[in-house]
Structure 1
């Protein structure tokens, strides 16, 4: 079994992961929707911190701008403009909740053992995908040279999803 080397980066990884998990648990446990939106903002910022820790600065900053900034603010406006009555859930343990908790613990144990038993490949300078370019330049080169077709297909898929969302959200006409 491989031992964990406790470097400052590893300690930062575990602290950031703990913060993400804490925000996720808060998201699931809050009763007010506005607090849920703030908690998901914390999850987004924690994920951005992980990206930056892993050396993907461009993706981390994009995560902060797009998700932690724009999406969280959009959620806040949507929540404030709509009426949300909080429904008080039952706070007692049922058989279903006990089995759900046991299933989550079993899944966590299986994932822990599988992740610990895999021999993860180690990168070296010969397989560096950035090829000496800064992170943002390497992403741009890969998007517009290597992955041009998938990039365009994803943009087409997003446009179709946007049109579908508009069609589903429009009010029905009289006679429909």
Structure 2
């Protein structure tokens, strides 16, 4: 049932380290009380997930993960934090019973998932993996999907201008 024949290759070690970093970053994001620390730990999690994409040979997804999530979303969160007021940040009271029940639930979920994955039979499949997947995605994006790509860029520009207009209106109201 519990067969632990694991080859400790470099890929396994990198996967283990990146997975632990992603989990630690997510747990830190949940537990921090300061919003800036939460945003930075989310960025740490996003970088670890990008590393996992590189291990899966999905370089384009790793690049997009770093560019969009680590760069844009995290900076957007920090700008949102800076533009809002946080004068009355209160500390929530600790709930030891709730925390203990949550820990027990997490351990049970881990056990169920571990048991299910260890007993699953995954059949090997023939999958075509392109040598230059980033080039192929770029070719599809700028030929077959050029119009939706441009529409998304216009939509994002309009949303950005709208956010600036809302921020200016709130600033003038004070």
Shorter-chain TM-score: which interval?
0.7 to 0.9
Q: Distance in 1 between matches of 2:53 and 2:90?
A: 36
TM-aligned CA deviation for residue 123 of structure 1: 4.8
TM-aligned CA deviation for residue 102 of structure 1: 1.3
Q: How does 1:20-35 map to 2 (within 5 A)?
A: 20-35=22-37
**In the alignment, structure 1 residue 106 sits paired with structure 2 residue 104:** no
Range with bigger deviation, 31-40 or 77-86: 77-86
Q: CA 1:72–1:103 in structure 2 vs 1: closer, same or farther (change >3 Å)?
A: same
User: May I ask how many residue pairs the two structures share in their alignment?
Assistant: 158
The root-mean-square deviation of aligned C-alpha atoms, in Å, is: 3.2
Q: Which residue of 2 aligns with 1:93?
A: 96
TM-aligned CA deviation for residue 143 of structure 1: 6.5
* SS of 1:45 mapped into structure 2: helix
Question: TM-score when scaled to structure 1?
Answer: 0.74
Deviations 1:99-132 (A, max 9, x none): 22211111111011111211223355xx3142xx
Unaligned segments of structure 1, at least 5 residues: 172-176
Question: TM-score when scaled to structure 2?
Answer: 0.74
Q: Distance in 2 between matches of 1:79 and 1:21?
A: 24
